[in-house]
């Protein structure tokens, strides 16, 4: 589940991105108290379905929703002029705040709490949804998590 993308913290930590008009192909995931169930086979399914549906993948970042029981895995695709129930399209103004968490994935809630505090101080509200992606650190031998908070 760890992306082979190497990141530099400066590009992602404490940044804000505009997701207005972005489209993501998603598949539902089952979680057991915030831990995704059968994530490997689900990510293979996501990749297979995106290509079978004919979507152009815009980035190879697979995002996983932070959820207690039901969530989703999603990947950004080029928006097409057809309706698809598996597409999450952010038509209204949507911003995403990010942080880079360098701790153990088991303790990701610490990073989510830090992101939530940052969003609350900027916007006086908690993130609507939280997604994350495990990545390789800039040195190539460390693992990090980019946490995305939708506002």
Q: Are residues 11 and 46 in the same domain?
A: no
- Strand segments, DSSP code E, in the chain are 15-18, 23-32, 35-36, 57-65, 70-77, 87-89, 95-101, 129-136, 143-150
H or E segment and range at residue 7: none
Q: Are residues 15 and 30 in the same domain?
A: no
Q: Are residues 98 and 139 in the same domain?
A: yes
Query: Residue 2: what pLDDT?
Result: 45
Q: Are residues 46 and 83 in the same domain?
A: yes
Number of domains in the chain: 2
Domain that holds residue 61: 22-89
Looking at 52-61, 67-76, 88-97, 138-147, which range is the least confident one? 138-147
Q: Is the pTM of this model over 0.95?
A: no
Residue 104 clears pLDDT 70, i.e. is over it:
yes
DSSP 37-61: SSHHHHHHHHHHHHHHTTPPEEEEE
Residue 35 clears pLDDT 80, i.e. is over it:
yes
85 phi-psi bin (left φ>0, alpha ψ -120 to 50, beta other): alpha
- The three-class DSSP label of residue 81 is coil
Q: Are residues 74 and 126 in the same domain?
A: no
């Amino acid at each position: 589940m760890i992306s082979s993308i190497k990141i530099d913290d400066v590009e992602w930590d404490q940044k804000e991105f505009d997701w207005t008009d972005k489209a993501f192909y998603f598949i539902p995931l089952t979680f057991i108290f915030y831990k995704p169930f059968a994530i490997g086979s689900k990510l293979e399914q996501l990749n297979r379905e995106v290509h079978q549906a004919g979507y152009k993948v815009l980035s190879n970042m697979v995002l996983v929703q932070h959820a207690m029981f039901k969530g989703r895995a999603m990947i950004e695709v080029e928006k097409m002029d057809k309706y698809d129930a598996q597409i999450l399209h952010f038509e209204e103004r949507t911003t995403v705040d990010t942080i880079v968490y360098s701790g153990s994935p088991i303790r990701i809630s610490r990073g989510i709490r830090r992101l939530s505090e940052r969003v609350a101080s900027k916007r006086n509200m908690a993130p609507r949804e939280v997604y994350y992606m495990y990545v390789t650190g800039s040195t190539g031998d460390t693992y990090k998590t980019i946490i995305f908070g939708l506002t």
